[in-house]
Structure 1
């Protein structure tokens, strides 16, 4: 009986398994069951990867901010590093919002050496360990997330005596001929040209800084401590300053012209006045003092000597229309100007002002030797104050040997030419009523 049952049972089992093997109705379930661990694993790894990338990005942002804060601290402390750790820690308290606790020994702060234009460098390294929901089942320790950020000041902070407001791809400052300029401050142009400031001929310009919104081609004509190409543009520092009705109180309906050419040489005018034009003949002298002097619609031509004492000369127009004629300044031959701007009041610091309604004689923006505004000839000029021509070019030409103590030149374009020389060209002076033109501190992440 037992002998018969065993073979029969064996055959039964074989037949049953054969039927199951040949039956396709359960294949999908078997394949799904086999693939399920792979699907779960893939989803878990994808979730972990996204979470890890998010933490990494948050940590990197915190490191970037901390490094920048460290550089600002170094710059404020004249490159000293003693206050940097506190600045970094304080910034992390503000900007590390992930709730992650840094690993022991972090933040790690180092100070790479200056490299090119990159100064006051600070490198900050942050690290955390965070368990990942899925991977933690297979890892004995949480993975380390580590980020590094390095920041520096780029270029140097500058104080500028010369600002070109040229705001296109044409040259804004040019020195040519035998022009010789010496200053203990800098020059800046908003030109975006690849050659925003051009030195030519035998010209020589000595300055602390030469900066531009565009490029600057290094040249033996420029003798500067610091090139700052591709700097942020500077706003017109006097954009809000304009004549108003109180300034035109002295203007009659038809202002007279004033010509100094004969027996009236040596005339002294005090308290302000309004003229349609002004001319001073060769070897003649005019003194305007203690007030605001309007030139309404006409120009100023100086062949003799103009003394501005505690006074401002306004090239403007008493009529308010936007198309009214605005005159220019032409000082030539042996002309001379001695200017001291007011130190108080609305026009403090301003020596010569041209209304921004003046039409640019070179609408394409090309710098040219035929400028409508010239300080020209064998002049021995002494200027304390702002020379302001925001919409036209200003040319300093000839054989001048002027002294520009506490002076700013602000113009659309500035052209130094001839044998002009500005020696003892000193920085802006608060006591002269002049507000210094400076760049803002530029801090950037560097590699």
Structure 2
């Protein structure tokens, strides 16, 4: 009505608001499934300490992140697109878990799948080279993996009492191929620190069916890099992490029952930070 003092014509009114979406935290563990119950589960007597990073679940389930039994967990925060279920207190920097959060993006969604090459390689040598293992990899005794990309068509199995080492490696599990590591094996593997697959140690095929891979080993084992299985559940049973605590797990769902300390800043080892919750704020 105030404009009638100056003109009898209608004056259009406009308003403008600009929202900015920013990453609010980094995750050491990210469960991608959008609806699974207990998408990120910590159970048994596990003791997990995440220094400078969070646990993130994209699931909208009321128990998308669950800590049960006598499990102990320390983290920057627990962040869930759904809810959080705690059977005992956890130690976090944030005052309370963040629930109903925006889901996190898949940090490796644009990572290309390695192309299988010929001829097929065999796994019955003490030193193995990169290439395509058409019948899987069944590792026994002392085995060294040379740097490069390994395409595994079939299971990747590390047997009891084996000692497996390798640096600068990426192991691509083709289709629905799975990983199985025996708890009495010593496994010391690290990802490349440069190139296309920098920081990615295990890469599960995103075209595969739902399956489950298990990571275990003796307490002196080291898995340095990202364990990425967008279509599989990762069962992490080992009482270890990576060099300097540099292990990341991004999977469809995660079950953790090992004792581990994991650190946030692993850029010097080629391991990328993983954005977790995103926040929305008005900028103008």
TM-score (norm 2): 0.84
State how far apart, in whole Å, the 2-side matches of 1:433 and 1:377 are.
23
2:208 aligned residue: 358
Cα pair distance change 1:378/1:239, threshold 3 Å: same
State how far apart, in whole Å, the 2-side matches of 1:430 and 1:397 are.
25
Larger relative contact order (Cα-Cα within 8 Å, sequence gap ≥ 6) = 2
More helix per residue: 1
- Secondary structure of 2:197's partner? coil
State how far apart, in whole Å, the 2-side matches of 1:326 and 1:217 are.
30
2:212 paired with 1:212: no
Would you say the 8 A contact 1:203–1:221 is kept in 2? no
1:343 aligned residue: 193
Question: What does 1:236-247 align with in structure 2 at a 5 Å threshold?
Answer: 236-245=106-115
More strand per residue: 2
1:228 aligned residue: 98
Would you say the 8 A contact 2:79–2:99 is kept in 1? yes
Q: Could you tell me which of 388, 391, 404 is aligned with 2:231?
A: 391
Would you say the 8 A contact 2:123–2:138 is kept in 1? yes
State how far apart, in whole Å, the 1-side matches of 2:150 and 2:36 are.
36
Would you say the 8 A contact 1:407–1:428 is kept in 2? no
Question: What does 1:20-419 align with in structure 2 at a 5 Å threshold?
Answer: 61=15, 157-184=24-51, 185-226=53-94, 227-245=97-115, 248-249=116-117, 251-252=118-119, 255-259=120-124, 267-270=126-129, 272-275=130-133, 276-281=135-140, 284-296=141-153, 298-303=154-159, 304-316=162-174, 325-361=175-211, 372-397=212-237, 400-403=239-242, 405-417=245-257
Cα pair distance change 1:289/1:212, threshold 3 Å: same
State how far apart, in whole Å, the 2-side matches of 1:213 and 1:161 are.
16
Cα RMSD of the aligned pairs, angstroms, is: 3.0
TM-score (norm 1): 0.55
State how far apart, in whole Å, the 1-side matches of 2:199 and 2:248 are.
9
Deviation for aligned residue 1:430:
2.1
**Count of aligned residue pairs for this structure pair:** 270
Would you say the 8 A contact 1:334–1:379 is kept in 2? no
Cα pair distance change 1:441/1:200, threshold 3 Å: closer
Task: Answer with 1 or 2: which has the greater Rg.
Answer: 1
Would you say the 8 A contact 2:187–2:218 is kept in 1? no
> Which consecutive residues of structure 2, in runs of 5 or more, have no partner in the other structure?
6-10
